Structure 1
Amino acid sequence: MPPTPRGGATVLVATRLDDASADEVITELNRRRVPVARVDPGDFPERVAMNAEFGSDGLAGTLSTPSRRLDLGRVRSVYWRRPRPYSAPECAAGQDARWAVAQARYGLGGVLAALPAARYVNHPWRNRDAEYKPAQLATAAACGLNVPPTLITNDPLRARAFACEYHPVLYKPLRESEYHDAAGRALAVWVADAPAEAIGDGVAATAHLFQRRVDKIADVRLTAVGDRLFAVRIDGSPGVDWRRHYENLTYTLIDTPGAVTTGVRAYLDTFGLAFGAFDFGLDAHGRFWFYECNPNGQWAFFPAPITRLLTYALADHLQYQGQERS
């Protein structure tokens, strides 16, 4: 097995096989002849082998896949995209499997989060911290971004009162989690209108997020890569959740208002992020209303000219700059 080329330190891309955004960046890094290795931590231990040694000189060792051997001390940056969950050997089951998964998460996961010379986009622990919507909303407000009135509750009476007070109100899932019907088909829980009369007692079963619906004229996806901000106006959505209507949408690069630029950069600094995909609603007065920030959001769905801009920015950041987040 040949080692990773040593003409320069390697960019490690941690992701699953089917990741269009990662594909764009890997292709660009290859075009630039930057050494790059793609590893899915979910392939451990079946297809990934780790040898990590620690001592007074720090961390050294290798990470091996069927086609590549990576020098852990020669990783210049890590693009932490969307790896599959840590797994157990096929021969393990029950408690043994759960134990093996935990050891993989804290063993391999711990090594990948401690690479001594690497810059992370983003560090996996920073991604984890930034995924909680209550923290997102509180941080956005503290950073001067406009936040619509929002309620997180398991109290049906309070939810209905909030819906009456701030009508119209939306329901939003607090996290995009796997959900399947009785036949095992994957389902999506979308953002949806939540009139008071539709809010039932089932709210008591768990946490629910309700938010005043922004009187918007368009949506904005603002993608931040380091200090570079790419705001894209999204028009054409006939519903409240533009992700359900890709075939109707148009995308236009627009300038980012100064106050939004300041708020977004403060937000990234607060969470220690080098990358963020921010969603805003744009009202008729030109105000950006913060919905959420996905620290690992998708971006390759944009038209080719916009996708190329984001690809070049990420490749630049991984190749030259980076920002150590640990």
Structure 2
Amino acid sequence: MDGRPVLVCTEYEDATADLVIAELNRRRVPVLRFDPGCDFPAPGVLTARLGSGEGWGGWLTVGERKADLSAVRALYHRRPSPYSADDGEQEARFAAQENRRGLGGVLGALPGCLYLSHPQAIARAEYKPAQLSAALRAGLRVPATLITNDPVEAETFCAAQPAVYKPLHAGAYEVAGEPAGIWAAPVGAGEVDGAVRHSAHLFQARVPKVADVRAVVVGEQVFSARITAPPGVVDWRTEYRNLTYGPSVCPDGTRQALGRFLAAFGLDFGAFDFAVTADGGWWFLECNPNGQWAWLEEAAGLPITTAIADLLENGASRHD
């Protein structure tokens, strides 16, 4: 692969990554796309050597494509599959951990490489308790929040104000064998029961919002889209067919706070969700360090693909 390549780590079906790869191809930037969890140890082959130079060198080969590890300009860590192995329960666990720490460790230690964002930074930022406290420290408005497995505490919290329940992790979930989502939903004190004891639960004061905003931060740029759902909808993701979109201007104070938030985690990308109140206040709900944005680009006229491709092509980061 001639020139300094961009590595794109993501699952096979990723329309968001497809947009960025197409733009890099248009610019004639070499790209090696692969899914570490599926493409390694076959068809992927890693040969990484550490000598007296600046760091890891060698090659990553996937099929007929080959990248010089010492020349990688950027790694776009999108949504790769988890590391896994073939047969044998104990052997599979061992191999998966060796792959994660071997291939994953090398990819996380490439010399002179921009990370969008670094896999370890993304992993740290996926914990909502850490996000909420970081948002407060950055100067963002955060609704009152309770995390508990105590039904009495949960009932007391939900009786004190209108409240919602939110999952702490948006993992895979099925109902009757079909994929399903667990969304934020209103919860009253009378709905709290002993099932709360079975796991940690996140309860939050319900913001009296008039709209939502998804703010996508790419490097130093902020792209904001106002999302309007039907009245009474708590989580706009349950109403995709009934949403309207438009560009929104991020307030200066919020823009600066977003930069502080990302810097605290060492990220160069974040998809932030805010609830907007009638007085124009932006209330922080969460940040997805690998959040979706492709559908907003056309709906709200936001040039996010260009911004990401610029960052990957230039290979320079404020966290270098």
Superposition pairs of residues 142-153 of structure 1, within 5 angstroms: 142-153=137-148
| Equivalent of 1:78 in 75, 78, 83 | 75
- Check conservation: 2:247, 2:301, Cα contact below 8 A: no
- Check conservation: 1:223, 1:231, Cα contact below 8 A: yes
- Check conservation: 2:215, 2:273, Cα contact below 8 A: yes
SS in 2 for 1:279: strand
Matched, 1:191 2:178: no
Matched, 1:113 2:113: no
Matched, 1:283 2:281: no
In the alignment, the residues of structure 1 paired with residue 256 and residue 9 of structure 2 have an alpha-carbon distance, to the nearest angstrom, of: 30
Task: Name the structure 2 match of 1:157.
Answer: 152
Task: Name the structure 1 match of 2:262.
Answer: 268
> Deviation at 1:324?
6.4
Amino acid at match of 2:196: V
Aligned length: 317
> Deviation at 1:266?
0.7
> Deviation at 1:192?
0.7
Task: Name the structure 2 match of 1:54.
Answer: 50
Superposition pairs of residues 1-326 of structure 1, within 5 angstroms: 4-6=1-3, 9-42=4-37, 43-57=39-53, 58-88=55-85, 90=86, 92-166=87-161, 168-181=162-175, 183-238=176-231, 239-304=233-298, 306=300, 309-323=303-317, 325=319
> Deviation at 1:59?
1.0
Q: What 5-or-longer segments of structure 1 have no aligned partner?
A: none
Summarize the Cα distance change of 1:52–1:237 in structure 2 as closer, same or farther, 3 Å threshold: farther
Percent identity, please: 48
Q: TM-score, normalised by structure 2?
A: 0.96
Q: Deviations over 1:209-243 (max 9, x none)?
A: 00011100000000000110011100124511111
Amino acid at match of 1:232: A
Amino acid at match of 2:63: P
Q: What 5-or-longer segments of structure 2 have no aligned partner?
A: none
Amino acid at match of 1:203: V
SS in 2 for 1:297: coil
> Deviation at 1:307?
6.5
In the alignment, the residues of structure 1 paired with residue 178 and residue 95 of structure 2 have an alpha-carbon distance, to the nearest angstrom, of: 28
> Deviation at 1:36?
1.1
In the alignment, the residues of structure 1 paired with residue 221 and residue 35 of structure 2 have an alpha-carbon distance, to the nearest angstrom, of: 28
Summarize the Cα distance change of 1:249–1:120 in structure 2 as closer, same or farther, 3 Å threshold: same
In the alignment, the residues of structure 1 paired with residue 243 and residue 9 of structure 2 have an alpha-carbon distance, to the nearest angstrom, of: 30
- Check conservation: 1:123, 1:325, Cα contact below 8 A: no
Q: Deviations over 1:105-132 (max 9, x none)?
A: 1001101101111000000000000000
Runs of 4+ in 1 over 6 A off after TM superposition: none
- Check conservation: 1:45, 1:87, Cα contact below 8 A: no
> Deviation at 1:325?
4.9
SS in 2 for 1:135: helix
Amino acid at match of 1:134: P
- Check conservation: 1:174, 1:209, Cα contact below 8 A: yes
In the alignment, the residues of structure 2 paired with residue 157 and residue 140 of structure 1 have an alpha-carbon distance, to the nearest angstrom, of: 28
> Deviation at 1:305?
6.2
In the alignment, the residues of structure 2 paired with residue 254 and residue 201 of structure 1 have an alpha-carbon distance, to the nearest angstrom, of: 42
In the alignment, the residues of structure 1 paired with residue 187 and residue 16 of structure 2 have an alpha-carbon distance, to the nearest angstrom, of: 33
Amino acid at match of 2:256: T
Larger mean Cα displacement after TM superposition, 64-73 or 219-228: 64-73
SS in 2 for 1:322: coil
In the alignment, the residues of structure 2 paired with residue 231 and residue 308 of structure 1 have an alpha-carbon distance, to the nearest angstrom, of: 8
SS in 2 for 1:296: coil
In the alignment, the residues of structure 1 paired with residue 218 and residue 230 of structure 2 have an alpha-carbon distance, to the nearest angstrom, of: 26
Amino acid at match of 1:262: Q
- Check conservation: 1:148, 1:211, Cα contact below 8 A: yes
SS in 1 for 2:280: coil
